[in-house]
Amino acid sequence: MKPLALRSCLAAQIRRFIDLQRLSGTDYKSQARLLEYFDRFLVEKKVVSPRMSRRIIDEYQQSLSRLAPRTRYNRSSVVRQLCMYLSRTDPLCYVPEAVRNISSRTSRQPYIYSRSEVRALLTAASELPPSDSLRPHTYRTLLGVLYSTGIRIGEALALNLDDFHEAEQRLYIAEGKFRKERWTPLSASAARALHEYVRKRRRMAPRTPESPLFLGRQMCRLTHGMVKNVFQRLLTRCDIPRSRHARPCIHALRHTFAVSRLLAWYRDGQDVNARLPWLATYMGHVGIHSTQVYLRATAELLDQVDRRFRSYYLNHVKPLEGNHEKHTNLA
């Protein structure tokens, strides 16, 4: 992660606030980046007083109006947290009211990739230049891991060579959200694909156990920015368009995994409600409420729900209705 470029009159206070948040056990990386946007705003507006006024905060919130509702909510919330921190030593610091959470109706729906789209992305990744390098194998394997496990892109990029335990067919996630560690089981096909990639990867330096699993062109750890740029080109090549309601992106592979897992449980006749806590644990969530954000009612999923309801009705509800009619006629 690049060091924060803080240059405003609040730079020192922002750094202390971030350090305090990290002491509580969170890495605070994404929130820190959001505060960097606020710092940049203060520099552009030439704010020189470290005391936050209502006018400054209102102007900042107005500058966010062009952004998506969820993005506005996240940026406003983290600035409010900062103001609350500043008010502990400066009672005159303005603290904005809590921003209302964005409902699923107003936020952009997650994009769910079809199997054909995933196959197209994997094929396009395997054709990345240079053809005789590790690069195409790296991106194909990375996308395959994200699709088959649902781990976060940051978790995948933080993997080291010794985090792949081939004998047990699982990954060790040491850098999960809120610094939570966990084991992620792999399917047989995913384990085989990782085995083939690691075999090629170990021909390249560095190859120590703590070396990055996924390497960039400069033989260093891939960054989110690198992957995002390449993935956008793959989307264009595969003709996967963005729409007004859903935007395909690398994180959408995590949404796709969650929906695919739910669909598989419906097809297998499993008790989906009982298994949701399993999915939450697998994805590194504190509870099922966080997991539900990743679930979307696709046409395939609705079809399985309809089939299950129809089967339940025919086998359990309709016979009871028939017995009720017989008793009514006898009476």
Q: Give the per-residue SS3 of the chain.
A: CCCCCCCCCCHHHHHHHHHHHHHCCCCCHHHHHHHHHHHHHHHHCCCCCCCCCHHHHHHHHHHCCCCCHHHHHHHHHHHHHHHHHHCCCCCCCCCCCCCCCCCCCCCCEECCCCHHHHHHHHHHHHCCCCCCCCHHHHHHHHHHHHHHHCCCHHHHHCCEHHHEECCCCEEEECCCHHHCCEEEECCHHHHHHHHHHHHHHCCCCCCCCCCECCECCCCCECCHHHHHHHHHHHHHHCCCCCCCCEECCCCHHHHHHHHHHHHHHHHCCCCHHHHHHHHHHHCCCCCHHHHHCCCCCCHHHHHHHHHHHHHHHHHHHHHHHHHHHHHHHHC
* pLDDT reading at 38 higher than 60: yes
The tokens for 252 are: 């959408």
Range among 8-22, 255-269, 272-286 rated most confident? 8-22
Cα–Cα dist 256/254, whole Å = 5
List the structure tokens of 172.
């060790």
Question: In terms of Cα–Cα distance, which of 7, 9, 6 is closest to 18?
Answer: 6
Spatial separation of the C-alpha atoms in residues 263 and 279, rounded to whole Å: 12
The answer to whether residue 9 scores a pLDDT higher than 90 is yes
pLDDT above 70: residue 314 = no
Residue-wise pLDDT for 76-121, tens only, equals 999 999 999 999 999 999 999 987 665 544 456 789 999 999 999 9
Is omega for the bond preceding 91 within 30 degrees of 0, making it cis?
no
The Cα–Cα gap between 186 and 170 comes to 5
- Identify the CATH assignment for 110-252 out of 3.40.718.10, 1.10.287.130, 3.90.230.10, 1.10.443.10: 1.10.443.10
pLDDT at position 68 is 82
pLDDT at res. 198:
97
Alpha helices in 212-298 (DSSP H): 224-237, 252-267, 272-282, 288-292
Is the confidence at residue 55, as pLDDT, over 60? yes
Residue 180: what pLDDT? 72
- For the cut 60, the answer to whether the pLDDT of residue 144 exceeds it is yes
pLDDT of 243 higher than 60: yes
Q: Strand 109-110 vs strand 246-247: parallel, antiparallel, or unpaired?
A: parallel
Is the per-residue pLDDT at 226 higher than 60?
A: yes
Contact between 222 and 216 (Cβ < 8 Å): yes
21 confidence band (pLDDT: 50, 70, 90)? confident
Closest CA to 156 of 97, 211, 110, 214: 214
The more confidently predicted of residues 219 and 294 is 219
Rounded to an integer, the average pLDDT of 231-236 is 96
User: What are the residues facing 311 on neighbouring strands?
Assistant: none
- Report the helix count and the strand count for the chain, using DSSP H and E: 14, 5
Beta bridge partners of 160: 212
Q: Which residue has the higher pLDDT, 254 or 322?
A: 254
Reduce the DSSP state of residue 239 to 3 states and report it. coil
Most confident of 213-217, 272-276, 286-290, 305-309: 213-217
CA distances from 100 to 65, 72, 77 (A): 15, 11, 9
CA 13 remoteness from chain centre: 29
Which band of pLDDT confidence, cut at 50, 70 and 90, is reported for residue 301?
low
Average pLDDT, the chain: 86
**Structure tokens belonging to residue 196:** 């083939």
